Structure formats: C-alpha cells, structure tokens
Chain A
C-alpha cells in the first residue's frame, strides 16, 4: 500500500458508501498524488459527490480504507479539514454577510487571526476579481461571481488539497473560462486539485489524470490522452444521410471499413485512425453521405462508450 511518503495525498482502497440499502460508492481504489489535478468523471448519480464528501471528511465511510493527507478522516477529521479547501456543488455562501465578511469569517473558522483574515480577504478578492464588490451583499452577485467567491473562500486557509465538486455547472462560457484560468494558476502554485465534473472539455482542460465512474464504480482510469488512446481511435468520421439512406449504407458494408461503428438515429460514427482515408474508401464503395465530418476523438467519445448513451437518472 502507498503512504504519504511517496507524495500520495489521497489514498482509497475498497472505499464504500451506503445509504441504507442504496450503494452510492461501491468499492473504489484511488490514489491522488501531490501537485496533480485529478478528475472524477461520471454521469449524475455515479457516486462522484459521495466520494468527494468522504474525502472532505464530512461523510463517514461505510467500508474500506481512506487516507487523506496521511490521516484517517474518521479519527482526524478536523485536523484534515484544516488543510483542505472545499468548493461544494451548490454555493453555500453566507448570505447575511458581505463579500469581504464572507472571506474573513470563513478564515476565522480556521482559527486565523483577525489581522491575517483581513489581509487574506483583500488578497483573495483581488484573485477572484471581486474587489469592487467587496462590501456588497452576496445575494445580488451573478452566478459566476458567487462561484468565484466560493473558490476564493476555499483558499482562505492556503489549502494543500482543493476539492471542487462540479465547479462550473450552471455558468456561462465566459465565466467557465475565467474559472479554469484561476484553477490553472492554483495548480501552478502547487495546489493539488480534485475535480468532479460531467463536462468533458473541462476534464480534458484541467485534469492530468482522471477516473470515470459509473454506477458507483470506477470503469476507467488514466490521463485524458491515454484514455482516448485506449478506449477510442485517433479520429472519428461522422456520416449523415438523407432520411432512410442510413440503413442502405449499413447494408452496403460501411461497418466493415472500421473496427468500431456507432449507429445513432441521425448519423453514423466511424472510429478510425485516419478519417479522410476512411471517407475515401467509403466513397469508393459507393456510399454517398449527405454530409461528412472528420474530427479528433475526444474524452466525450470515451465517456459515452464507457457509460452508455442512455440516461442514468
């Protein structure tokens, strides 16, 4: 078993969380190393948030082993939490306080002195681009601002490990990119990040390594590029047909051109190393799609292959 000695901040072995009969996390093994950005990817209800809550020491595990910063959450919860930053899925900012007060009061919960939290609040408002709203109430802030404030708040104790549960859900593209930028900067400063998300682009952008969870278990693990290599091909050829003609193409043997094909109601996805040459071969075979698109495989292809296309919840 790995210990903190080799730079592992979070180590889970056979980690299980049950709520009565319901199994939220069904025995997972994870190791998050110091300085990396680690992702939990999965559809809603896959067990990502339950895992995060156990790591954050706010949900006791049902079974298995869990070590966070080299300590046992069951025994050393407060001591671990003192060194964590947590960005919950739903903002729980203190709506009775101003932006500045939110940061200061939160710092006080960590036992920081008044002088320290004053300086810290100023610094973090700068970081989160909220200095101009310092003395405003929290409620009228936009979703993106609240999210930035929540992230700023999670940094008040200079955490070694930052847990972000769906940090950009519900934000517009501008706000998301701004947040990603902030997270990059933190990573560069050496903060270890654990992120749950169901946005593939977010995972590809931010994560050095990730696990894909489905139905409370881990179904794949690796770097985004390695996962794409392992579970998908380099490129994907998408073919669209006139209504009714898709079946003709299938009868014509379009599936034989590639190792794997996915038949969707409106198009065919051909997984191939070289999209252009596959398209030429298809043309040569007399297959005439209405339109064609060659693109690189993404994490989304991996995700959908692993977790299926049907709705989970």
Chain B
C-alpha cells in the first residue's frame, strides 16, 4: 500500500517543515512537462544563449577599444572584456531565470490555470514550485555551459577555478527563479511586470557588472551589496580570475538562502492562492 511507502522514505529536514499535502515528491513531472513544451519553442530557448553573446561582442569590438585594461579583483591588471565577461554570465543566468519564473509562471497561473489542474492530482504546491524552478535551472545550465565554452575559447578565463562558474551560474539561476516565482504570486496584472523591470535594470547595470564597487560612494555601496546579482557577479569574477577570498562564502550563503526562502515562499503563496 502507498500508506507505508511514504512514511518510510527519508525526508530532508527542510521538507519536513512543510505542511502535509504540500509535497508529493513528484516535482520532476513538472520538469517533464516543460521539456515537452520546450520542444516547440526551441528558438526562444536558443535566443537566451545569444543575449550574453551579443553583449560580449559589443564589449570585445566596442568598449574594449576605449577602455583597454582595468584593475581586477586581486589588484592585477586585466582586459576590460575579461572583467565584464564573468558578470555577463551571472546576469544572463539571472535574466533567463527571471523570464521563466515571472512571465511564464504568471501566464500558467492566471490564464492557463495550469496549476489548478495539477493540484487536483496528488501533487502539491511545493512540487509545482520545485518543478518549475528546476526547469529554470535546466535552462540555466545549458546557457552557462555554452557561454562558458565561448568565454574560455576567447581566452577570457585565466584560472582552473573558472570551471566552478558553471555551478555558480546554476545557483544564481536557482535564486532568481525562486524569488521571481515568489514575486509573481503577488502580481495582479501584466502591467505589474513593469515593477519587476524597474528592479532588474538597475540591478543589471550597477551590480559591479561594468565597473567595480569602489566607484560608488559609501552609502550607495551598501545598497549595491543588497542586490543579489552583486553577489553572483563577485563570485563569478573571483572564480574567472582565480582570486579567491573568504568573502566568497558570504556571497554563496546569500544566494543559497535566497533560493531556499524564495522557493518556500512561492510554494506557500501557491497554497494560499489556489487551495482556498
């Protein structure tokens, strides 16, 4: 009987705090669904790879000629393109995840009413949150690997530590997919998406993506350090150049907390909205 089956399995402490009915351990079925759907939209998915590539090109042939070298994380001199490339990987991981977890989730929740159908099966809100966020991760992995290949091919990474940029890209995607999905549950109409852009654009521009934190006055530096993307960029840049620092553990912790909290909030909100 299924009764005993569920009780004997080991449940991680994180999932044990979720109320009963939140999680049926079948989040992967939502990923399966996304894979099926994605076959029809491969072009859109492919386009996500070109976005950071175009940026990189712009810097290689454009800005790189004006600003040739900058001071890297360890005080060393490095080419501007090499300075920006890791940050572009971080922000493309963010953009892909946010797109997937905001517009797409909103459409599925409000117009397609997909999750109402899903919740009539044994699946619970946490299955949905985990399944949808995982799919954002799968996409994130594909982009990260492709971009990493290009960047290393261009000789822009100088350290074996750079291999860790791929898992970090996944963590960034996870964190942004989770908070993106959580935020989407509060969105009432498509006009509210303007608010998300209002947060994303300054975050993209100022999270030390294009210039180091030291150019900002002290008070602004504090604000920048609240941006999740800042932590992603710093991690990426450190790994790309092989300049490691204990503060990187702090960046890592920030993103992990964001990912977990975002996912739990998203699941809880789905329950409040759909299981009334």
A residues with CB within 8 A of B: 19, 56-60, 74-75, 77-79, 81-82, 84, 86, 88, 90, 92-97, 101, 105-106, 108-111, 153, 157
Contacts of A94 in B (CB 8 A): 33, 112, 114, 117
B binding-site residues for A, Cβ under 8 Å: 2-3, 6, 20-21, 24, 26, 29, 32-33, 36-37, 40, 112-114, 116-124, 274-276
Q: Which residues of A contact B124 (CB under 8 A)?
A: 77-78
Known A-B contacts A94-B114, A96-B37, A105-B29; the reply to A58 vs B119 at CB < 8 A is: yes
Give me 24 A-to-B residue pairs in the complex whose CB atoms sit less than 8 angstroms apart, sorted by A's number: A58-B119, A74-B20, A77-B124, A78-B123, A79-B3, A79-B122, A82-B121, A82-B122, A88-B117, A88-B120, A92-B117, A95-B112, A96-B37, A97-B33, A105-B33, A105-B36, A106-B117, A108-B29, A109-B29, A109-B121, A110-B121, A111-B122, A153-B117, A157-B121
Q: Are A58 and B29 in contact (CB under 8 A)?
A: no
Question: Is B122 a contact of A109 with CB atoms below 8 Å?
Answer: yes
**Is the Cβ of B26 less than 8 Å from the Cβ of A111?**
yes
What residues of A have a CB within 8 angstroms of the CB of B118 in the complex?
109
A58-B116, A88-B117, A106-B117 given; 9 more Cβ-contact pairs under 8 Å: A19-B276, A59-B275, A77-B124, A81-B120, A81-B122, A82-B121, A105-B36, A109-B26, A110-B121
A50's nearest neighbour on chain B, judged by CB, is B276
A96, B6: Cα distance in complex, Å: 32
Inside 8 A of A111's CB, which chain B residues have their CB?
A: 26, 122
In whole angstroms, what is the CA distance A111 to B117 when docked? Answer: 15
Least CB separation from B127: chain A residue: A109
Residue of A nearest to B30 (CB): A109
Most chain A beta carbons < 10 A, residue from B20, B33, B112, B274:
B33
A92 CA to B109 CA, complexed, in Å: 10
Give the contacting residue for A88; candidates B21, B33, B116, B275; CB below 8 A: B116
Contact of A90 among B21, B113, B120 (CB under 8 A): B113
Are A77 and B20 touching (Cβ within 8 A)?
A: yes
User: Residue of A at shortest CB range from B119?
Assistant: A58
**For residue A56, which residues in chain B have a CB less than 8 angstroms away from its CB?**
120
Question: Are B120 and A105 in touch, CB under 8 angstroms?
Answer: no
Docked pose: A135 CA to B119 CA in angstroms: 25
Q: Which 10 A-B pairs have the closest CB atoms?
A: A77-B21, A109-B121, A92-B113, A78-B122, A86-B120, A92-B117, A96-B37, A82-B122, A108-B29, A92-B116
The answer to whether B112 and A97 have CB atoms under 8 Å apart is: no
| Beta-carbon contact of B275 and A58 below 8 Å | yes
Chain B hits for A96, CB < 8 A: 37, 40, 112
Measured in the bound complex, the distance between the Cα atoms of B26 and A109 in whole Å is 7
A75: chain B residues within 8 A (beta carbon): 20
Contacts of B21 in A (CB 8 A): 57, 77-78
- Report the minimal beta-carbon distance from A22 to chain B, rounded to whole angstroms: 12
B116 to chain A, nearest CB (A): 5
Q: How far is the CA of A77 from the CA of B22 in the complex (A)?
A: 9
Q: What separation, in Å, do the CA atoms of A96 and B33 have in the docked complex?
A: 9
- Measured in the bound complex, the distance between the Cα atoms of B110 and A133 in whole Å is 26
B276 nearest in chain A by CB position: A59
Alpha-carbon separation in the docked complex, A86 to B113 (Å) = 14
Residues of A within 8 A of B119 (CB): 58
Q: How far is the CA of A88 from the CA of B119 in the complex (A)?
A: 12
Q: Give the Cβ gap from B6 to chain A, nearest Cβ, in Å.
A: 8
- State A92–B3 Cα separation when bound (angstroms): 29
Which residues in B have their C-beta under 8 angstroms from that of A92?
112-114, 116-117
Q: Which residue of B lies closest to A77 (CB)?
A: B21
B150 to chain A, nearest CB (A): 31
Q: How far is the CA of A288 from the CA of B63 in the complex (A)?
A: 98
Q: Is the CB of B33 within 8 A of A82?
A: no
A76 CB to nearest B CB, Å:
8
B275 contact set on A, CB distance < 8 A: 58-60
Set of chain A residues within 8 Å of B116, measured between Cβ atoms: 58, 88, 92
Whether the pair A79, B2 counts as a contact (CB closer than 8 A) is: yes
Q: Which residues of B contact A105 (CB under 8 A)?
A: 29, 32-33, 36
Nearest to A153 among chain B residues (CB) is B117
List of B residues within 8 angstroms of A106 by Cβ: 117, 121
Give the Cβ gap from B135 to chain A, nearest Cβ, in Å: 13
Chain B minimum-CB-distance residue to A109: B121
A207 to chain B, nearest CB (A): 22
Residues of A within 8 Å of B20, CB to CB, are 74-75, 77-78
Shortest distance from the beta carbon of B23 to any chain A beta carbon, whole Å:
9
Q: Which of B3, B32, B276 contacts A108 (CB 8 A)?
A: B32
